[in-house]
Amino acid sequence: MSTVGLSAALLQIDQHLQSDQIITDPDLLASYAHDESEVEPCMPEAVVRVRSHDDVVQVMRAASKHAIFVTPRAAGTGRTGGAVPVRGGIVMAFEAMNQIDEVHRGDLVTVVQPGVVLKTLHDTVEAEGFFYGPDPNSLATCALGGNLAENAGGPRAFKYGVTRDWTLGLEVVTADGTSLSLGKRTVKGVTGYDLTALVVGSEGTLAIITRATLKLMPLPERVVTMLALLPDVHAAGRAVNALLGKGIVPRCLELMDGHTLALVRSEVAISIPDAAGAALLIELDGSEQVCEALLESAGNLVLAAGALDIAVARHSGEREKLWAARRELSRALRRTAKRKLAEDVVVPRSQIGALLETCARISAQYQIRMPTYGHAGDGNLHVNFLWDTPEEEPRVKAAIEALFRAVVALRGTLSGEHGIGVLKAPYLGLEQSVELITFQERLKSTFDPQGILNPGKMFPGHLHRAC
């Protein structure tokens, strides 16, 4: 990418957009150099704050003509460096495309722009009696563009699925500035290839999303949250198996191990007995009657599995108190060490116990702190690696690779929701064959022949420059 090419592209963009949409001041560029991952910040050469689909088309026409890299960015809360412009070029920022265009009662759909913060969408549709399922714990700060590009999940994924399951259609712009309308507004529809499903989760490497049509459901009548304190993760595993064995499908089933529990001890609304070495946050929803019946059964099963204490929250304020500590967990962990990496691995549900044992073994072997928590119902655990000094880094690296190898051996997958981005790209080959990786690279070149869209992400061969 040449400086002359970049200047020419910015000049072309300037002819179509307002001048205040193009940022080149280094002080302002700095806040677009990083996300919430451990990926080293990389300064873009320019940021373009798009305000419409047409702006995106104009930027991509210019970028394509002059072969300039473009990295889309929604709210920058990504965990794997997806929005970090590792090869420089232009960051396309979506914060100004933040309108909810439609909430349609009859069709049970909402149409949103990519800069809408997820919590704003939740609040808006819930005020009208509707429900949108995906709820990443970053919901107060992340935006729909990033959720779609990462196929974000969250605690409610156990019952309600992930972002892809709620996406009916997308408006997108490809690398050369072509506009495509993908998918549909109806729940059923099998016309053509399902390119909506392909673009969701493609981490901004195939096309830029400018609008999404999302499914809604009626808001569940009642929600109750239960925090169960257990002696250890084995008892928690027994409780999870007991619940699933009885056909109880909580909308959330979150696990915290002893290390993480110790961290939230001062932040939860109930006192935690010293003997507690694990916790389950269980959330049930449905009609009033169904909810109370499920609560009673779940409580009995959890007690039978060895729970030491249970707290139940029925009202939204109380429930939020139980959730607040869980939602803050990731940032709270970060405060306990100079460096932190969170790996969001997934194993088949039956292998959760094996995964927890593997983590304990790797932690002991490499002498690295590895507090673990996550979405037990989905087999998706956040295994955190905490360290303070550069001398520890080789051990952290070896421990991460050992974890990934173990996960693949358990027939799991490297990422449940955070994506591959920069951080996991070197490990893709542990899970996928060379043929599969090559096939996906060919698919990418069909969408983006010059490789200008979010370069340096996902594929091991395209690792990033030193910046």
Interface contacts to ligand FAD, rule CB under 6 A: 35-36, 71-79, 82-83, 94, 114, 136-138, 142-143, 145-147, 149-150, 152-154, 203-204, 208-209, 330-331, 417-418, 454
The angle at the Cα of 437, spanning 71 to 351, to the nearest 5 degrees, equals 100
CB of 338 to ligand FAD, least distance (A): 18
Beta-strand ranges (E) seen in 62-138 are 70-73, 90-93, 100-104, 109-112, 130-131
Cβ within 8 Å of residue 214, ≥6 positions away = 109, 110, 111, 112, 132, 166, 167, 168
Query: Nearer to ligand FAD by C-beta: 203 or 392?
Result: 203
Q: How far is CA 250 from CA 123, 225, 382, in A?
A: 22, 10, 19
Query: Nearer to ligand FAD by C-beta: 207 or 227?
Result: 207
CB of 271 to ligand FAD, least distance (A): 26
Residue 95 CA to residue 78 CA, distance in Å, equals 15
Residue with the CB atom nearest ligand FAD in the bound state: 146
Rama region for 9: left / alpha / beta (φ>0; ψ in -120 to 50; rest) = alpha
Query: Nearer to ligand FAD by C-beta: 237 or 421?
Result: 421
DSSP track, 228-260: EEESSHHHHHHHHHHHHHTT---SEEEEEEHHH
Query: Nearer to ligand FAD by C-beta: 64 or 366?
Result: 64
Query: Nearer to ligand FAD by C-beta: 76 or 169?
Result: 76
3-class DSSP state of 219: coil
Which residue, among 286, 294, 111, has the nearest Cα to 215 in the 3D structure?
111
Q: How far is CA 464 from CA 10, 260, 421, 423, 430, in A?
A: 23, 33, 11, 10, 19
Query: Nearer to ligand FAD by C-beta: 302 or 346?
Result: 346
Query: Nearer to ligand FAD by C-beta: 147 or 372?
Result: 147
CB of 391 to ligand FAD, least distance (A): 27
Report whether 255 contacts 236 (CB < 8 A): yes
CB of 246 to ligand FAD, least distance (A): 26
What is the arrangement of strands in the sheet containing 278-286, beginning at the earlier edge strand? 309-313, 222-230, 278-286, 252-257, 372-375, 380-387, 339-346
Query: Nearer to ligand FAD by C-beta: 148 or 276?
Result: 148
Query: Nearer to ligand FAD by C-beta: 108 or 140?
Result: 140
Query: Nearer to ligand FAD by C-beta: 73 or 238?
Result: 73
Which residue, among 394, 334, 383, 330, has the nearest Cα to 359 in the 3D structure?
383
Residue 154 CA to residue 172 CA, distance in Å, equals 25
CB of 297 to ligand FAD, least distance (A): 27
3-class DSSP state of 134: coil
Strand-pair partners of 204: none
CB of 406 to ligand FAD, least distance (A): 22
CB of 428 to ligand FAD, least distance (A): 15
CB of 213 to ligand FAD, least distance (A): 14
Q: Would you state the structure tokens that stand for residue 354, as one six-digit string?
A: 């094996």
Query: Nearer to ligand FAD by C-beta: 137 or 358?
Result: 137
The angle at the Cα of 456, spanning 454 to 459, to the nearest 5 degrees, equals 110
CB of 150 to ligand FAD, least distance (A): 4
CB of 416 to ligand FAD, least distance (A): 8
Residue 330 CA to residue 341 CA, distance in Å, equals 10
Cβ within 8 Å of residue 350, ≥6 positions away = none
CB of 329 to ligand FAD, least distance (A): 8
Per the listing, tokens 């990422």 go with 415
